[in-house]
Every structure is written in structure tokens, then in C-alpha cells.
Amino acid sequence: MKQLEKKNVVDAQGGTILPGFIDTHVHMMMEYTPLSERLTKPFSYMYFEAQKYLENTLNAGVTSVRDALGTDLGVKKAIEEGLIKGPRMQLSINALTITGGHGDGTQLNGDVLDLLPSGHRGMPDGRCDGVAEVRKKTREMLRAGAEVIKVHATGGVLSPTDHPEFTQFSLEELKAIVEEGRFRKGVKVMAHAQGSEGIKNAVRAGIHSIEHGIFIDDEAIELMLENGTYLVPTLLAPVSVLETADEKGMPQSAVEKSKEVIEQHRASFTKAYQAGVKIAMGTDAGVMKHGTNLRELGLMVDAGMTPMDAIVATTKTASECLGWSDQVGTLEEGKLADVVITKGKPLDDIYSLANNDEIQYVLKGGQVQKISYLLSKS
């Protein structure tokens, strides 16, 4: 492994040694807060909050993430140059969305209340309609540093004026987005897609990964298998909306939609997994607290996945989804030294990984990010 100092030996003391975990769907610049807090928070304060979110993610053993909107190039640069601690990042910058769709923060009274500010330097606004506009907006995201393009192909749970089953963007618009990414040395596209029609449109357009996939049907599964499309299920997202609704001031519409979709979401995951669809772990962290990422593994196991497959989904398969399988995802000579040591045996108790105290040691790129007291004395 690269960058690991010679003669630096750590005794795992009976724990389990794993590759660094990967979360392929996060929002590192936010944690959902009540509206009153968002309205009174100075703009730049979110960058200082994000430092804690990034640190919490590392403490959970997550050494690489794909940011699904909201983080600009400066944050990634600050991590890479050692100004702040955080996981390795793949950026989408901001998501493309239709006027009035998921990602358009315009409320029913006409006020705009985005979950994250957009339209500022480094964060182009994502709203666009028609083939010409989506091409230009994709180019703006690429110019701002996007390494993957994010598009909202359907409505969603947290948006005020649509429903998860609503279809956004035409097939022609989605194809134009995919084409623009391909022109830039094969930049992939990830699609927030919850309704079955939107999922199928995204797959037919050549989109690389389906995020959420709540209403997957048999035809969508066949298309995903034919095209090698990844599913990033984020089972934790609607669970967390219901758990934190009162504390975080979640909109009542989001609570009702979460109740409506939660069982369907789980059933769709089970069907896709049993059919052999490639599944990469993702959580939608930011909707819930950062650092709680590995709760997702227990939810996947509850829905029928084996513990080993859940670990593979958040290591090897996740690295393949990000196009980083030559660097991370497995413990092999020549790859970056991303290593996690857990206290116990996660194959026997996958739910233990939800407790960050279970994560005893985290190495990212050969640099120690977290070490327990006992291991530090070994």
C-alpha cells in the first residue's frame, strides 16, 4: 500500500481489519436543521460546521465519499492540502433540476428556501429546462469542478411541490446530460430517481447510478442489469426523516411522504438485490447526522442482504461505482492505504458498526485519522 511508513506496526488486538468504508451518497455541507436556524445562520458559518461533519464521517470509518450536491471545490482542496481533516471526496457540485421539481426550493408562497445556498461563487444554480439549458448547466458544473454530474430525474421526499413518483426531465434532456459528461473524458452521471418511469428514463439515457430507487419495478431491474447500472439505495434517508421529524422541524409533507414510501423502498431494494443489480452503499448523510453512515449496513441486512455483501457494497462495489477501484475498496498492494480496524467481528454483528466506538482505527492514504487509546499503546 502507498504512503504507509515502514516499520509502523499496529496490533489489531483481536479486532477485524477492513478496507476504508465508502459512502457514495452524502451531502457534506449540511445537516438538516429547523427553518428558523437556516434563516438566521450567516452564510460562511456552514463551512465551519462542515469541518465537524467531515471529522465525524472519518470517525465512522468512512474514508471516501461521493458528494451528491452542495460541496464546492474549495472544501475538497482544503482536505487534500491538509487544512482540514475529511474523507477523500468526489464532487458533483450541484444537482440539475427542473423548474418546480426536486431541488427547486421555491415554496408554495413563492419564497425560495433552499436546503443549501446555490448561485454563489463555486456553486452554480442547478435549475434548467430543455436540452439547450441542461447542456449549458452541465458544462457549468464541470467548469466548477464536478467529477460526477448529479441530476434529479424524479421528485422527492423533501421537496415541497412534487412527489417521488413524478418524472423530471425528458429522455432527450437526460441523454444530453450524459453526452456532455462523456465529452469530458467519461464523467459519469448519478440520478436521484425514485419513481419507476424516471428510473427507466435514467437507465435508458445511460446514467451510471440510480440513487434511492424507491419504486423500482421488474422492467427497471432488467434495464439496470442489461446496462450495468448501479443502485445506491439510501435506506437510511426516510427512516431518519421519521426519527428526527420533531427535533429537526421536518416539513409535514416530507413526514407523510416518508411514511408512504418506506416499506416500498425496502421491498424495491430486496427485489433488486435478489435479481443481482450492483448495489453501492449510500446514505444521504446530511438528511441525517454525519457519522451515522454505517447504520445503512444494518438496514440492508434487514432487507435481505448478507452481512458480507453489505460490507462489499460499502467497499469494493462502492469503489467501482466511483471509478476508484484501482485506488481504494480492497486491501491490496499498490492501492492507497485506507484501513479500518473494528473492535469486534462485523460479520457476526453488522449492527455494531453503527456505533462509532466500534471503529478503533482509521487510516486514510497512510495517515492515521483515528486511533483508540488501547491501540495507541500497542
The catalytic residues are 150, 284
In angstroms, how far is CA 95 from the centroid of its own chain?
A: 13
**What order do you get walking across the sheet with 189-193 strand by strand?**
95-96, 149-152, 189-193, 209-212, 230-232, 278-279
- How far is it, in rounded angstroms, from Cα 255 to Cα 343? 36
Element housing 152 (H / E): strand 149-152
Q: Which residues contact 182 (CB under 8 A, 6 or more apart)?
A: none
**What order do you get walking across the sheet with 62-67 strand by strand?**
21-26, 62-67, 88-91
- How far is it, in rounded angstroms, from Cα 247 to Cα 258? 16
Strands 339-342 and 359-364: antiparallel
CA-nearest of 107, 140, 115, 112 to 125 is 140
- How far is it, in rounded angstroms, from Cα 306 to Cα 230? 18
- How far is it, in rounded angstroms, from Cα 328 to Cα 107? 41
Query: DSSP alpha helices (H): ranges in the chain?
Result: 35-40, 45-59, 73-80, 131-143, 171-183, 196-204, 218-227, 236-243, 245-248, 252-275, 295-302, 307-313, 316-322, 373-376
Total Cβ atoms within 10 A of residue 19:
26
- How far is it, in rounded angstroms, from Cα 230 to Cα 304? 18
DSSP three-state, residue 289: coil
Sign of CA dihedral 76, 318, 17, 4: negative
For the stretch 117-122, contacts whose Cβ atoms lie closer than 8 Å and that sit 24 or more positions apart, written own/partner, are 117/43, 117/46, 118/94, 120/43, 122/72, 122/73, 122/74, 122/93
**By the 8 A CB rule, do 21 and 62 touch?**
yes
* Residue reference for cell 499503546: 377
